[in-house]
Amino acid sequence: MRTVLVVGIGAGDPDQLTIQAVKALGRADVFFVLDKGPAKDDLVRLRREILDRHVGDGGYRIVEARDPRRDRNPADAAAYAAAVDDWHDRRAELYERMILDELPEEGCGAFLVWGDPSLYDSTLRIVERVAARGRVTFDYEVIPGITSVQALAASHRLVLNRIGGPVEITTGRRLAEGFPPGVDDVVVMLDADTTFRTLDDPDLDIYWGAYLGTPDEMLMHGRVADVGSSIARTRADARRRKGWIMDIYLLRRRPPATGSAADRRRPSAATTGADIVESSARLE
């Protein structure tokens, strides 16, 4: 029977792969990669760098296919859900063809997933959809990876949760409906609109990161009211320069002054404006 591996490869640094993931790469006869167009050639190149490091320079086979387009600006939540469902259907057809055409009956193929397959990634849902169609029989395994959430926390030297407190992970689309109630620490992914700028809360800090785990990694942090505009400009400039961007941020509400010393951690007064771009020189 065919075997399909869904392998989490971390946020971009080849050193972020787990030993389990490296062993999985060694089992694969072919690697399936979706081409997202010339603007995102870097993403294919980074996958090749990972394979060169852990499988052997040129000692592997990659099958590329063009990722289907989808509506990025649906009118409302219902239109968004319909657009994503249609996109998943067309991706399932593509995955099915690649597995049938490129993977022999007893072969092992792998999809390389940024971060971890369990967090804001569609690969597992699509693999399950392919299996449900019943046109190709295969078993599949999931190998976890380091998420961008973990990479962000490590780069900023953060503990994500307060003592005994919850952390919520959400999207920019949901943040636009308001800061989630009942939590003080919110990780936001998939926010193309820098929605944090719409939040009117003087006690919110932001810890932002882009291209985490790559040579172009960028980090900024400070009070949202002080640095939000700088982050938005930096993000827009980087996206224009590279043609794409992957970023993530933590919003943290400042505790009352009576909190513990650990909870009172705040960025220094100097961590504002242009001074907070910690790695901008790498983009020059």
Can you give the three-state secondary structure of 207-254, one letter per residue? EEEECCCCCCCEEEEEEHHHHHHHHHHHHHHHHHHHCCCCEEEEEEEC
Q: Which of 143, 160, 176 is the last residue of a domain?
A: 143
Claim to verify: residue 161 and residue 174 sit in the same structural domain:
yes
Domain coverage including residue 156: 148-283
Backbone phi, psi, residue 204, to 5° = -100, 130
Residue 124 clears pLDDT 90, i.e. is over it: yes
Average pLDDT over residues 33-56: 83
CA pair distance 137, 223, nearest whole angstrom: 52
Residue 153 clears pLDDT 70, i.e. is over it: yes
CA pair distance 181, 183, nearest whole angstrom: 6
Handedness of CA 197, 267, 279, 158 (dihedral sign): negative
> 37 pLDDT band (50/70/90 cuts)?
low
Write the Ramachandran bin of 194: left for phi over 0, alpha for psi from -120 to 50, otherwise beta: left
- Tally of domains in the chain: 2
CA pair distance 280, 192, nearest whole angstrom: 20
CA pair distance 209, 250, nearest whole angstrom: 9
User: Which pLDDT does position 264 carry in this prediction?
Assistant: 44
Claim to verify: residue 116 and residue 162 sit in the same structural domain:
no
Q: Which of 128, 143, 158 is the last residue of a domain?
A: 143
User: Which pLDDT does position 39 carry in this prediction?
Assistant: 60
Residue 73 clears pLDDT 80, i.e. is over it: no
> 68 pLDDT band (50/70/90 cuts)?
confident
- Judge if pTM exceeds 0.75: yes
Average pLDDT over residues 118-139: 95
Claim to verify: residue 35 and residue 166 sit in the same structural domain:
no
Claim to verify: residue 108 and residue 79 sit in the same structural domain:
yes
In the block, residue with structure tokens 């693999």: 127
Picking from 192, 208, 211, the residue whose alpha carbon sits closest to that of residue 283 is 211
> 270 pLDDT band (50/70/90 cuts)?
very low
Average pLDDT over residues 9-30: 94
Claim to verify: residue 128 and residue 255 sit in the same structural domain:
no
Claim to verify: residue 169 and residue 139 sit in the same structural domain:
no
Residue 283 clears pLDDT 60, i.e. is over it: no
Average pLDDT over residues 15-44: 88
Claim to verify: residue 104 and residue 153 sit in the same structural domain:
no
Claim to verify: residue 109 and residue 156 sit in the same structural domain:
no
Average pLDDT over residues 153-178: 95
CA pair distance 187, 160, nearest whole angstrom: 9
Picking from 121, 207, 228, the residue whose alpha carbon sits closest to that of residue 160 is 207
Residue 228 clears pLDDT 70, i.e. is over it: yes
Residue 169 clears pLDDT 70, i.e. is over it: yes
Instruction: Give every strand in the sheet of 204-210, ordered side by side.
Output: 168-171, 185-189, 247-253, 204-210, 218-223
Q: Please, what's the b/e burial string for 241-251 (b: 16 or more CB within 10 A of its CB; e: otherwise)?
A: eeeebbbbbbb
**Are the C-beta atoms of 28 and 61 separated by less than 8 Å?**
no
Taking CB atoms within 8 Å and a gap of at least 24, the contacts of 235-239 are 235/194, 235/210, 238/210, 238/211, 238/283
Q: Please, what's the b/e burial string for 67-96 (b: 16 or more CB within 10 A of its CB; e: otherwise)?
A: beeeeeeeeeeeebeebeeebbeebbbbbb
Mean of pLDDT over the chain: 87
Q: What is the 3-state secondary structure (H, E, C) of 101-155?
A: HHCCCCCEEEEEECECCCCCCCHHHHHHHHHHHCCCCEEEEEECCCCHHHHHHHH
Claim to verify: residue 133 and residue 162 sit in the same structural domain:
no
Claim to verify: residue 130 and residue 162 sit in the same structural domain:
no
**Are the C-beta atoms of 204 and 175 separated by less than 8 Å?**
no
Average pLDDT over residues 78-87: 86
Claim to verify: residue 165 and residue 255 sit in the same structural domain:
yes
Q: Which of 143, 177, 199 is the last residue of a domain?
A: 143
